[in-house]
Amino acid sequence: MWDPATGERFALVSDKNNELHIQLDALESALIVFEPRKIDLPTYKFVSSPGSGKPLKANWKVNFKHINGSTFSRNMERLVDFSTSEDEAIRTFAGTVTYTTSIEKQDDIKFINLTNVNQAVTELYINDEPAGMRWYGNHNYNVENLVQSGSNKIEIVLTTRLANYCMSLKDNATAQAWAGRYKNPFPSGLTGVEIVNSSE
């Protein structure tokens, strides 16, 4: 089993009938390489995606870094779909968004699930330590070795699509040829975060 995102390789163990049993989640794929000789590799362990957790309700500091070079910040009491915002700067935004908040560890937190990222790329940091990056499949992060007792800083870095910004460029013929045929903005931004405890 080869992980193209990290370059790591693992051995897949076959059963007595020389069959491989592969477990995949929604929108997940696997890259399997058949080597001509035996290679000493650690055994691959399939890990099921976590179930549903408890929605994280928090105040977020949100920093926007626009693809056009501009930057601005907002405070959000809840996560919103940018395309529905009355704030034009948010509604037409394209670029990188950093969501920051803090949580108190009360139970053994195992996963943080980003339940709706609207086809974005995400990265998660716990207390400035990276938990990983997701650009396909479920955006679920195992954080049990990163969360500490007491207060924990949560930072989510999300990179959006360009569509809504291109739709707003009415005087740009190239942008309008690509996105001008759409009438409504596309859903954008992070709209859901869940905390999954070890007992769930």
> What confidence score (pLDDT) does residue 200 get?
56
- What's the predicted TM-score (pTM) here? 0.82
Q: Determine the Cα–Cα distance for residues 74 and 86; give it in Å rounded to an integer.
A: 13
Phi (first) and psi of residue 152, to 5 degrees = -130, 130
Mean pLDDT of the chain: 90
Q: Which residues of the chain have pLDDT under 70?
A: 26-27, 48-49, 199-200
Query: Contact, 197 vs 136, CB < 8 A?
Result: no
pLDDT in tens, 148-171: 999 999 999 999 999 999 999 999
pLDDT in tens, 61-88: 999 999 999 999 999 999 999 999 999 9
Q: Which of 157, 154, 164, 152 minimizes the C-alpha distance to 93? A: 164
What are the extents of the domains in the chain? 1-48, 55-197
> What confidence score (pLDDT) does residue 26 get?
66
> What confidence score (pLDDT) does residue 49 get?
66
CATH architecture of the domain formed by 55-197: Sandwich (2.60)
> What confidence score (pLDDT) does residue 179 get?
85
